């Protein structure tokens, strides 16, 4: 079977954990003849850096149109990261809250 997975690496250690998660999924795919097609989606600090917001409408649409979402940690060090001088609605964690609010199931 083929599966479309929205991959949200997030920030910091989230990117490392998601890469390991993809390795696990790929191993499952080899064993059970599944094919995973990954589409990277930005959320959190990386999205703020590239788009100015913690989560874009395009990212939400990609997640909603996927079979599953693989989500890593978002955010950074609140003492040193420039993301935490932003208003609360523009901080990395606001992307998670927006993600949850946009789904009728609690999470997309």
- 107 inside domain: no
Given this model, what pLDDT does residue 106 score?
54
Q: Residue 32: left if φ>0, alpha if ψ -120 to 50, beta else—which one?
A: alpha
In-domain check, residue 106:
no
Asked if the model's pLDDT at residue 108 lies above 80, the reply is: no
- Cβ atoms 43, 83 nearer than 8 A: no
Maximum pairwise Cα distance, the chain: 47
Read off the pLDDT of residues 31-75 as tens digits, 9 standing for 90 and up: 999 999 999 999 999 999 999 999 999 999 999 999 999 999 999
Q: Are 18 and 9 in contact (CB under 8 A)?
A: yes
- Domain boundaries, position 26: 2-101
- pLDDT of res. 99: 80
How many domains, the chain?
1
**Within-domain flag for 74:** yes
Q: Is the pLDDT of residue 100 over 80?
A: no
In a domain, 73, yes or no: yes
Q: Tens of pLDDT along 73-95?
A: 999 998 999 999 999 999 999 99
Q: Is the pLDDT score of 107 beyond 90?
A: no
Binning pLDDT at 50, 70 and 90, where does residue 105 land? Answer: low
* pLDDT score of 97: 87
Measured CA to CA in angstroms, residue 104 lies from 64, 72, 76, 101 at distances of 11, 21, 28, 8
Does the residue 108 lie in any domain? Answer: no
């Amino acid at each position: 079977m083929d599966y479309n997975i929205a991959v949200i690496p997030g920030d910091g250690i989230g990117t490392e954990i998601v890469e390991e998660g993809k390795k696990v999924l790929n191993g499952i795919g080899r064993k059970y003849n599944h094919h995973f097609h990954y589409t990277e989606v930005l959320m959190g600090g990386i999205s703020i850096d590239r788009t100015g917001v913690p989560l874009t409408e395009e990212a939400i649409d990609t997640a909603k149109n996927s079979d599953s979402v693989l989500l890593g940690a978002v955010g950074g060090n609140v003492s040193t990261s420039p993301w935490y001088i932003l208003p609360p609605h523009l901080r990395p964690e606001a992307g998670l809250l927006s993600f949850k609010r946009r789904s009728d199931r609690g999470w997309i």
